[in-house]
Amino acid sequence: MTNSEIHSNYPGRGAPARIDAAPEARARGRSHFLRQAAEAYLRHLEDQAIRGRYARGYTDPDAVAEAAGWPEEEQVWPKN
């Protein structure tokens, strides 16, 4: 979505005004709202990176071949 599309949905309201209108920002303040948004974004990036590593691990021929070569006795869940 482009900036012009975003602003056409909220005429006359840039990001600061939209943030200030959010109930959480009104209740806890803009700084808290922005910190929460930044943390959520960073978690999202980390989740994407993890999903990408899993996808590569299951589809990369080298990784699949490496896993196929593990001895059977090492393919067990650890015991507590």
The set of residues, in sequence order, having a beta carbon less than 8 Å from that of 33 and lying 6+ positions away, is 19, 22, 24, 25
Residue 52 covered by a domain:
yes
Placement of tokens 């910190």 in the chain: 35
Q: Note the pTM of the prediction, 2 decimals.
A: 0.56
35-69 per-position pLDDT tens digit: 999 999 999 999 999 999 888 878 877 777 777 77
Q: Domain count for the chain, please give it.
A: 1
Domain annotation covers residue 35: yes
State the average pLDDT for the chain: 82
- Can you give the residue range of the structural domain that contains 15? 3-69
Q: Are residues 22 and 33 in contact, defined by beta-carbon separation less than 8 angstroms?
A: yes
Name the more confident of 77 and 48. Answer: 48
